[in-house]
Amino acid sequence: EPEVTQTPSHQVTQMGQEVILRCVPISNHLYFYWYRQILGQKVEFLVSFYNNEISEKSEIFDDQFSVERPDGSNFTLKIRSTKLEDSAMYFCASSDVTGGETQYFGPGTRLLVL
């Protein structure tokens, strides 16, 4: 069964450093998403991406965040200058179509900013 994969599974970084989280969505999916989950809290939407453009982004997704689909298989989330409060699990998801089709989530990347 196809699945979303994410690398790395864990990332530890120093405050102010740049991190890139990588995702390989399900191959025939067209819509891609990033969510985050701070420990013990609910999952929060960050950004949705379609046709090489951001479709929607949340208030969390400020100028420090960017997304990219550098090739036909990868989808990345970059945080330019990490802050302590960026520590969280980051989940990538993908779907066939938006708004009414299931989003399938990857296993997540646990980011710890020291």
* Peptide linkage before 8 cis (omega within 30 of 0): yes
Smallest gap from Cβ 4 to another protein, in A, equals: 8
Q: Does 104 bind another protein (CB under 8 A)?
A: yes
Q: Does 7 bind another protein (CB under 8 A)?
A: no
Burial state string for 61-83 with b = 16 or more CB within 10 A and e = fewer than 16: beeebebebeeeeebebebeebe
Q: Please choose, out of 11-19, 60-68, 76-84, 94-102, the segment that lies near another protein by the rule CB under 8 A.
A: 94-102
Measured CA to CA in angstroms, residue 4 lies from 40, 72, 83 at distances of 23, 14, 27
Q: Does 105 bind another protein (CB under 8 A)?
A: yes
CA 86 – CA 11 distance, rounded (Å): 12
Tell which positions 20-79 bind another protein, by CB under 8 A.
31, 33, 35, 41-45, 48, 50, 55-56, 58
Of 24, 27, 26, 32, which is closest to residue 5 (Cα–Cα)?
24
Smallest gap from Cβ 35 to another protein, in A, equals: 8
Q: Residue numbers of the site for another protein (CB under 8 A)? A: 4, 31, 33, 35, 41-45, 48, 50, 55-56, 58, 91, 95, 98-100, 102-108
